[in-house]
Structure 1
């Protein structure tokens, strides 16, 4: 087993002891796999002899060229988005499998992979239900960006960010699970705090589901209204003419699903910190990168939306981007023009 020799739980979060000694394996792993690709027993031995963090990172690097190649062939640059709901859970499952093979107690890890699987199922369902839009970047954003910059520059952007950086990001958000894998050598059972973390995560997934369902119901009603000019039950003409949902959770946050999504990976990071008995550790890089991505992605989406629909700017002033503005929210049933903005045009904002 390629797990570091540690003397305490705190050392499980020490980058110099749990990561640095195994970086060299990243360079020798490809040759080992090529020599044993048709020998299952040797592949298993290589898997166990390779640090699980290194093998996970190597996989993220391995799949990036395939995403790049496919995206350039079919000119659809959302290949990583299509796997967005699967890759973090795949990495988490990898750590859990490794722990089982190592004979470590896995109660905490088993609960984490259960939560991660529910997250993946919800995200995958929402992705395919909405015709391929994912929680990450959306097709139309890449198309808008592609039209604004030169083909050469966009190709570089595809290589560096879309196909590579996003893959590495999805690996990074799962790194707290590696820390919890190491902690399981000292204590892998569930305590009260672990139960609280798991329930908070399930609650955030529920918030995401409710927000996406409200968005889906609205978009479905808007499409029917535009086709038949008849207002579906449960909606009013003003809401549908506006073009974007501002009721329910969307009256408190312009992106309640995104807020919950970011919080999920922050909580998983905090779970890893608690398990390793430290206030912070190096795996914060994953959670912070995830937040930075959503900040940039949401800014770009709203820039597109507000440039097309001026009244969206009023919605931005009334409702917080992710967190509610203290003392402010849109009423469920507006009584005047200012309470609930009524754009003259329609938007695709929120189809994620």
Structure 2
């Protein structure tokens, strides 16, 4: 039995006790069955189809976590998960889509998920590539900072727990709401107008993320050119390049508009599953919630490092929200005063007071 047989309503599709708990024993038995089936293609396919897709997907994330751990320790490079960050959520959504097709379950709604997720992956992978993320030996600078700050044994524990396994499981959990949509597709197989609305929202968030990353790329490229040639590139002023960080465009209203869009993308996938199952909340919200918490911590750490490099960053932090804009106006910079608006009545009152004094 790969799917629950006690589902009668859409609300049942999000019920942990009916859709997840009964299949946990499959997780414990999966390793031995995988070893038995790995040499036989037919048996491997049967194992895949006859295993609950939520369970098999989680098992894959654990196997990948072990691979990331071994690769990191052998190469002494701890950005192994980073290289797959833009690919794995789409891989897992594709897993649910393929499993549905092999099992004869309508997949139109999962196809819609896979559409925007593929676009998300392509865009994020390209952005990571052009920044040199796939270069030999490239590693996120934050891992080096942490490595210097804590004992060597503590960092190895950190790699075993957080970097390799936790992050691998997290990338699966943010895609797990697709499981609820898979179950709901057995009851409501056709794409609805709400599905189209959610698809449009996801594509819109990807566009925002693209614009933010492109603005950052243009600025950093100009700054690098300026530092190498001492000439200010066209379209920029020396002061903004000397500042060291971008404060224009979307970055004038949010310190991390790309991160804000990224968190929203996976939160809205969870909301999509809530709509599909006609529930206000479900266990599938754990993944997006953990992702948001991760972004809180990693963004704070990133800004801690940035504020130590650029003196003006403290002013920027004070005037611009981390993710959500604090107001409608863009960042003005320190020492830039907004002209005070004097009402006509106030001006007349001051003139009257001056006359009386005379």
The equivalences for 1:273-352 within 5 A come to 273-331=274-332, 337-338=335-336
**1:191 maps onto 2:198 in alignment:** no
CA contact (8 A) 1:108 1:194 kept: yes
The separation in 2 between residues aligned to 1:116 and 1:202, in whole angstroms, is 9
Cα 1:339–1:228 change in 2 (3 A) is: farther
The separation in 2 between residues aligned to 1:143 and 1:339, in whole angstroms, is 40
**Secondary structure at the counterpart of residue 310 of structure 1:** coil
TM-score, normalised relative to structure 2: 0.91
The separation in 1 between residues aligned to 2:269 and 2:177, in whole angstroms, is 7
Q: What's 1:350 paired with?
A: none
The separation in 2 between residues aligned to 1:242 and 1:308, in whole angstroms, is 10
What 5-or-longer segments of structure 2 have no aligned partner? Answer: 339-358
Q: What's 2:235 paired with?
A: 234
**1:244 maps onto 2:245 in alignment:** yes
Structure 1 residue 309 displacement after superposition = 2.2
Structure 1 residue 25 displacement after superposition = 0.6
The separation in 1 between residues aligned to 2:239 and 2:308, in whole angstroms, is 21
Q: What's 1:344 paired with?
A: none
The separation in 2 between residues aligned to 1:62 and 1:160, in whole angstroms, is 14
Structure 1 residue 310 displacement after superposition = 2.6
Q: What's 1:19 paired with?
A: 20
The separation in 2 between residues aligned to 1:16 and 1:206, in whole angstroms, is 38
Q: What's 2:207 paired with?
A: 206
The separation in 2 between residues aligned to 1:285 and 1:35, in whole angstroms, is 33
Write the deviation string for residues 60-91 of structure 1: whole angstroms up to 9, x where unpaired: 11111211111112111110010000110010
CA RMSD of aligned residues (A): 1.6
The separation in 2 between residues aligned to 1:35 and 1:133, in whole angstroms, is 35
Q: What's 2:348 paired with?
A: none
The separation in 2 between residues aligned to 1:236 and 1:76, in whole angstroms, is 38
The separation in 2 between residues aligned to 1:240 and 1:299, in whole angstroms, is 23
CA contact (8 A) 1:173 1:265 kept: yes
Write the deviation string for residues 18-60 of structure 1: whole angstroms up to 9, x where unpaired: 0000000111111111112121111111111100000000011
Q: What's 2:66 paired with?
A: 65
**Secondary structure at the counterpart of residue 283 of structure 2:** coil
**Secondary structure at the counterpart of residue 131 of structure 1:** coil
Structure 1 residue 133 displacement after superposition = 8.1
CA contact (8 A) 1:251 1:329 kept: yes
The separation in 1 between residues aligned to 2:76 and 2:316, in whole angstroms, is 34
**1:99 maps onto 2:66 in alignment:** no
The separation in 1 between residues aligned to 2:109 and 2:189, in whole angstroms, is 6
CA contact (8 A) 2:89 2:175 kept: yes
The separation in 2 between residues aligned to 1:228 and 1:326, in whole angstroms, is 37
Structure 1 residue 327 displacement after superposition = 4.3
CA contact (8 A) 2:2 2:52 kept: yes
What 5-or-longer segments of structure 1 have no aligned partner? Answer: 341-352
The separation in 2 between residues aligned to 1:187 and 1:273, in whole angstroms, is 14
Structure 1 residue 307 displacement after superposition = 2.2
CA contact (8 A) 1:330 1:339 kept: no
The equivalences for 1:107-186 within 5 A come to 107-132=108-133, 139-186=140-187
CA contact (8 A) 2:243 2:310 kept: no
The separation in 1 between residues aligned to 2:72 and 2:335, in whole angstroms, is 44
CA contact (8 A) 1:107 1:188 kept: yes
The separation in 2 between residues aligned to 1:268 and 1:126, in whole angstroms, is 22
Cα 1:209–1:327 change in 2 (3 A) is: closer
Q: Which moved more, 1:253-262 or 1:309-318?
A: 309-318
CA contact (8 A) 1:259 1:323 kept: yes
The equivalences for 1:34-113 within 5 A come to 34-113=35-114
